[in-house]
Amino acid sequence: MDGDDGLMLNFAASSSTKPQQQHKGKRSAPSQQPAASSSSSKRSKVESGSSAPIKKAPRPSNDGRQTHGPSSSASSSRAKPTTFISSLFSKVPQADTLQTDEDAEEERRARNKAKPTNAPGSDASTFSGLGLDPLLVAHLESKRMSIGSRPTGIQRAALPTLLQDDDSRDALVHAQTGSGKTLTYLLPIIQSLLPLCTETWIDRSVGTLAIILAPTRELARQIYEVAEKLCQLHLSLREQAEEDGDEASAARRTRWLVPGLLSGGSTKNHEKSRLRKGIPLLVATPGRLLDHLQNTSSFDVGKCRWLVLDEADRLLEMGFKETLEGILKAMDGRRRLACNTAMEAMQETMGSDARIAYEDVEDGTGVKWWAKPRKVVLCSATLDENVQTLAGTHLRRPQVLRGSGEMPDTAPATEQADPATSANGIDPGSSLYPRLAAPAQLRQNAVVVPPKLRLVTLIALLRSALSRNSSVVNADARRVIVFVSCTDSVEFLWHALGGVKMGEDDEAGGDDGDENSDNEEEKASKGKPKIAKECELFPSTPIYRLHGSLPQSDRIASLKGFSAGMGKKTKTPSSSSNDGAILLCTSVAARGLDLPSVGCVIQLDPPTEGGVDEYLHRIGRTARVGKEGESWIMFLPHEREARERLEGAMQQDDKAAAKSSSVISEVGADYILKRGFGGRGDEYESRATEVQLAFERWVLRTSTSSPTSAATLARKAFLSHIRAYATHPSNEKDLFHVRFLHLGHLAKSFALREAPEVIKSNARKEAAKGAAAAVAANRDRRVKPDKKERLEARAGKANGTAATDGKADGVDDDDEDADLPRTAIKADIPSRSSRGAKDNILEDVSRGSKNADAEARMYAKVRALGKQSKKGGMLGSYGADEFQIA
């Protein structure tokens, strides 16, 4: 395949008059002909904007490790003797990692034939045939919902059960990613509440009748938006009312079923006033819900009939579990209280001796709210032993509902646990939840990449995925999601892609690069922080970012921008673009997000926690409801075996279905580079080298120590990446151990030319400066700022670039509070005696991790108390207890 497909590389258009110098590596000279002077240079011209020819790369010395500072004389005095350029291709990936283009395409074609496993069924079943109310059926078919009439596998399997008025059993909905689980639980909830619309007394003050919990703010908002759309259904079918001769009753229906959202990031007072009015259908994140249960007296959940835990396995992970138990306890308490109050009111009229059974208690409206127990539904594509434990202790005779099309030969659509095994039918010893493989039509790939090629391989992959005539994705599905392990890596990549200039002359133009251009862009957008960047390497493609340290408004705006429909105008710089888009994110985007037109998911860093389950959720952002999609995961050479492990884990429980949908094809890095950078023969090598050098120039160009300078971002990202790497669980340490990392080569993938030791000491100096600045800022804050200053400070706070400052590490452990590490970080560090430069860095990483750990415990304590006590903007940590809150 010719790599110059659709997307043109910004290799200097005019370079035919200015031949490029070759870049030599330690052992091999990469290419015969520089890219720009090749015959393809015409095709390689810039699609948007201009690009000057790339300055010649300095020739390395014979040993391939050339001392290399900024080239301009003005900045040469600042050059570090420890910086160097090593050739990207001095150690080309070994032949045995490579797959021929033909092999790869062959495999791809074969996978293309796989029948989708999460699509609406092609049989005769319809929503109305499953027992759905005609009002809802009509609404699903309407333009507003655009769902149609055909249910997916899980909807066929679960709706008949959930729509029944059987409250004696709870349910576990277990189905592949993108198979329509949200509607599977929302439709029965709404249908069960619809009859109340005809009551004369009904209004919002009835309180909260259904609660849906989601682990992240983004997912909670998404569910809320679906619920909001569903609740806009017509409350009467005029024809139906006329037919029934019951126009009057149709007219009497009340629109009281209003959804509401409680999630971190919005003001609690505002939420309180909405709760006072009443939110019948509530979507929430766990921390915020518990907070209101403990502190908002007007929050009426005493009559709640439904509790749904979406992404239940994630909700039960460390950090959430206690919150969840607190929620269940608080809800039970409020239910009892409401029932007792109603009972006392009844006794007042019937006489205090009257004995009233729990089921017979009515409230003032005459409804026996407490006759039926609350129905609990747990839901996920991956149900694990935590879910099993919760099901075993808190759920009543739970039924496992599974999509029939997803496991054709192995499981019936509805499973019932053997009641003999335990009190509620769940046997804690056996796995009831075989792991579901990925949707069969999702083409999974892995690429083994030497550390120093990581950055350019990512660029090549993105170029392929975004190219119009790529085989990777549909022309209308050119949105790409890139997962990395930490917030600092997201920040680095986002700024680097936005700042990199191909064909620039100046190797070290001073300290004014990205920072100033950022500021200018911000000025142009009237002080509003930018949410999207554009990169010369992917013309007309806005690049967004999402991680837990971003201000909530930016998180929402980024997702909106990324999701904006094809051709729809957005307020981003690329509003006119009908092209693809890139979302750089941490695992915060792995769960549940239903983003349109995502054709490709790239995991630059394999998940550090959650293993195969996290992998499945991440790749599940593509190939949704029967659509095609492709995923890529990058492994370092020493991690290579992880591919087979992932495959094995996906297949172990789900042999029949897994054969087709658990294969991860291994592709060599040079195949990707060739496809992404194009050119003849080895030309892709020199093109990749030019791209790498452009990133390195970007870092050199902005070598100030301000928090937004490129060098600072790159160093922070490098160190945070190592920290995140150290959090791989112990059962993965044989493949993912920090000791196996070649730190010098890894630094290259963060566009750093500094030696790891220098990166560390520079980062330390920057951190010290940052701390001093923070102290000074705190001191200034004691003097009450005038209004203008306050506004400026608020604008500054909204700037996402500063969002990661002060975080103990860059690991994004997003939950509803966005920034709390869920697991203790356990870097294995060698003893002092055998310490080298690398060990020093690893020890530093460990120390940072311990701080993060302490911080996590402090936040956990704060959360457990349900309150946050802040002093001067900082959480308090004083008193007798380790983190006693005043």
Binding site for ligand ATP (CB under 6 A): 120, 147-148, 150-152, 155, 175, 177-183, 381, 592, 594, 620, 624-625
- Rounded CA-CA distance 531/560 in Å is 10
- For residue 834, CA distances in Å to 175, 319, 827, 838, 850 come to 50, 36, 16, 11, 21
Specify the residue, 252 or 560, whose C-beta has the smaller distance to ligand ATP: 560
Instruction: Quote the least distance from Cβ 728 to ligand ATP, whole Å.
Output: 24
Specify the residue, 183 or 309, whose C-beta has the smaller distance to ligand ATP: 183
**Chain centroid offset of residue 623 CA:** 16
- Rounded CA-CA distance 651/663 in Å is 9
Specify the residue, 435 or 463, whose C-beta has the smaller distance to ligand ATP: 435
Specify the residue, 226 or 235, whose C-beta has the smaller distance to ligand ATP: 226
Specify the residue, 150 or 252, whose C-beta has the smaller distance to ligand ATP: 150
Q: Is 667 in a helix, a strand, or coil? A: strand
Instruction: Quote the least distance from Cβ 660 to ligand ATP, whole Å.
Output: 19
Specify the residue, 219 or 531, whose C-beta has the smaller distance to ligand ATP: 219
CA 95, 98, 100 angle in degrees (round to 5)? 120
Which residue bears the tokens 């009190």? 423
Instruction: Quote the least distance from Cβ 602 to ligand ATP, whole Å.
Output: 17
CB 76 within 8 A of CB 70: yes
Instruction: Quote the least distance from Cβ 621 to ligand ATP, whole Å.
Output: 7
Instruction: Quote the least distance from Cβ 472 to ligand ATP, whole Å.
Output: 21
* 672: exposed, middle or buried (Cβ count in 10 Å: 0-12, 13-18, 19+): buried
CA 809, 815, 820 angle in degrees (round to 5)? 30
Instruction: Quote the least distance from Cβ 616 to ligand ATP, whole Å.
Output: 9
Instruction: Quote the least distance from Cβ 145 to ligand ATP, whole Å.
Output: 8
Instruction: Quote the least distance from Cβ 175 to ligand ATP, whole Å.
Output: 6
What would the two tokens of residue 760 be? Answer: 């560390």
Instruction: Quote the least distance from Cβ 650 to ligand ATP, whole Å.
Output: 15
Residue 665: its H or E element = strand 664-668
What would the two tokens of residue 188 be? Answer: 């029965």
Specify the residue, 622 or 651, whose C-beta has the smaller distance to ligand ATP: 622
Instruction: Quote the least distance from Cβ 371 to ligand ATP, whole Å.
Output: 31
531's CB contacts (< 8 A; 6+ apart) are 544, 554, 557, 558, 561, 572, 800
Closest C-alpha among 813, 216, 795, 716 to residue 493: 716
What would the two tokens of residue 64 be? Answer: 């391939």
CB 443 within 8 A of CB 108: yes
Specify the residue, 301 or 442, whose C-beta has the smaller distance to ligand ATP: 442
Q: Which 3-state string (H, E, C) describes 622-634? A: CCCCCCCEEEEEE
Instruction: Quote the least distance from Cβ 134 to ligand ATP, whole Å.
Output: 17
Closest C-alpha among 180, 183, 189, 184 to residue 172: 184
42's CB contacts (< 8 A; 6+ apart) are none
- DSSP for residue 460: H
What count of other Cβ atoms lies within 10 Å of the Cβ of residue 160? 17
Closest C-alpha among 184, 198, 270 to residue 230: 184
Specify the residue, 275 or 612, whose C-beta has the smaller distance to ligand ATP: 612
Q: Which long-range contacts (CB under 8 A, 24 or more apart) does 553-558 make?
A: 553/798, 554/529, 554/798, 554/800, 554/803, 555/217, 555/218, 555/265, 556/221, 557/531, 558/531, 558/532, 558/583
Specify the residue, 90 or 155, whose C-beta has the smaller distance to ligand ATP: 155
Specify the residue, 183 or 803, whose C-beta has the smaller distance to ligand ATP: 183
Instruction: Quote the least distance from Cβ 598 to ligand ATP, whole Å.
Output: 11
Specify the residue, 147 or 442, whose C-beta has the smaller distance to ligand ATP: 147
Specify the residue, 145 or 798, whose C-beta has the smaller distance to ligand ATP: 145
For ligand ATP, which residue has the nearest CB?
A: 180
Instruction: Quote the least distance from Cβ 629 to ligand ATP, whole Å.
Output: 12
What would the two tokens of residue 113 be? Answer: 């034939």
Q: Is 255 in a helix, a strand, or coil? A: coil
CA 595, 600, 602 angle in degrees (round to 5)? 105
Instruction: Quote the least distance from Cβ 280 to ligand ATP, whole Å.
Output: 21
- Rounded CA-CA distance 521/526 in Å is 9
Specify the residue, 607 or 810, whose C-beta has the smaller distance to ligand ATP: 607
Instruction: Quote the least distance from Cβ 315 to ligand ATP, whole Å.
Output: 13
Specify the residue, 584 or 595, whose C-beta has the smaller distance to ligand ATP: 595
Instruction: Quote the least distance from Cβ 262 to ligand ATP, whole Å.
Output: 20
Residue 545: its H or E element = strand 538-546
Phi first, then psi, for residue 719 (nearest 5°) are -70, -40
Instruction: Quote the least distance from Cβ 329 to ligand ATP, whole Å.
Output: 27
What would the two tokens of residue 712 be? Answer: 């600072």
Closest C-alpha among 322, 601, 379, 345 to residue 484: 601
Specify the residue, 40 or 597, whose C-beta has the smaller distance to ligand ATP: 597
CB 80 within 8 A of CB 749: no
CA 327, 330, 336 angle in degrees (round to 5)? 140
- Rounded CA-CA distance 328/310 in Å is 15
- Rounded CA-CA distance 767/488 in Å is 14
Which residue bears the tokens 């170029």? 463
Instruction: Quote the least distance from Cβ 729 to ligand ATP, whole Å.
Output: 23
Concatenated DSSP letters for 598-665? EEEEEESS--SSSHHHHHHHHHTTSS-TT--EEEEEEE-GGGTTHHHHHHHHHHHS-HHHHHHHS-EE
Specify the residue, 499 or 620, whose C-beta has the smaller distance to ligand ATP: 620
Q: Is 419 in a helix, a strand, or coil? A: coil
Specify the residue, 624 or 715, whose C-beta has the smaller distance to ligand ATP: 624
What Rg do the C-alpha atoms of the chain give, in angstroms? Answer: 29
